[in-house]
């Protein structure tokens, strides 16, 4: 009887151990990726980022900003679905207002990634409002090439993996904007806090 009882206890122990291991495996496989996604996306569309992009949006919407200063820029926009924002695209009717100088200070103070002292080469992308489609971007968007496809294939620019993840995370914006916006602005913002550096990503529609 004692020998049989010992065998039964051992069997019970094995069953409970396997069950507990299964539960922990289930928790790990389901919740750990969610934690990773949360940590990755905590730098998406932050309050600071929205504030910075709001002012950039205002510059783009101003009548003094020229989206296609060169004839090749419009071709690039239609071919790749975006153009880069540049302070030099501001046409100043009254240079005394210093709109270009304000733009340069803005992108510097907002720590826009990639900008030089002249407000050029900024990681600010002006795209069409619709940046993707339900066909996984294999077909063109309603108004030319999808920005998502351009980023995924690294066409024209070399987009890093984090930026690619952010753009893939965004909706396709296939339905028209309620504010009749025709464009989007997507910006990469550089942060440095307590000696640690990271980047955040933000978008906003532009009329």
pTM given for the model: 0.76
Confidence of residue 143 (pLDDT cuts 50, 70, 90): low
d(CA 186, CA 93): 27
3-state secondary structure of 125: strand
DSSP 93: S
By C-alpha distance, which of 147, 148, 166, 195 is closest to 49?
Answer: 166
Is residue 45 within 8 A of residue 201, CB to CB? The reply is yes
Structure tokens at 187: 């910006």
Structure tokens at 17: 């151990």
Asked if pLDDT for residue 123 goes beyond 90, the answer is yes
Query: Which of 4-8, 59-63, 165-169, 186-190 has the least mean pLDDT?
Result: 4-8
pLDDT > 70 in the chain, percent: 79
pLDDT of the residue at 91: 84
Burial tier of 107 (Cβ tally within 10 Å: 0-12, 13-18, 19+): buried
Higher pLDDT, 116 or 12: 116
3-state secondary structure of 196: strand
Higher pLDDT, 195 or 179: 179
Q: What is the number of helices (H) and of strands (E) in the chain?
A: 6, 4
d(CA 40, CA 48): 17
């Amino acid at each position: 009887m004692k020998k049989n009882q010992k065998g039964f206890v051992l069997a019970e122990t094995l069953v409970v151990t396997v069950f507990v291991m299964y539960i922990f495996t289930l928790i790990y496989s389901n919740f750990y990726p969610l934690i990773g996604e949360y940590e990755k996306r905590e730098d998406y569309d932050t309050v600071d980022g929205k504030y910075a992009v709001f002012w950039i949006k205002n510059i783009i919407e101003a009548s003094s900003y020229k989206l296609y200063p060169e004839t090749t820029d419009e071709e690039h926009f239609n071919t790749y679905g975006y153009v880069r924002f540049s302070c030099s695209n501001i046409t100043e009717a009254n240079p005394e207002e210093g709109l270009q100088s304000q733009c340069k200070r803005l992108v510097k103070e907002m720590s826009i990634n990639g900008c030089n002292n002249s407000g050029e080469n900024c990681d600010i992308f002006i795209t069409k409002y619709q940046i993707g489609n339900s066909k996984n971007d294999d077909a063109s968007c309603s108004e030319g090439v999808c920005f998502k496809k351009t980023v995924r294939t690294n066409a024209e620019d070399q987009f890093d993996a984090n930026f690619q993840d952010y753009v893939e995370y965004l909706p396709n914006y296939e339905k028209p904007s309620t504010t009749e916006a025709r464009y989007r602005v997507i910006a990469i913002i550089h942060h440095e806090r307590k000696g640690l550096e990271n980047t955040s990503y933000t978008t906003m529609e532009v009329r």
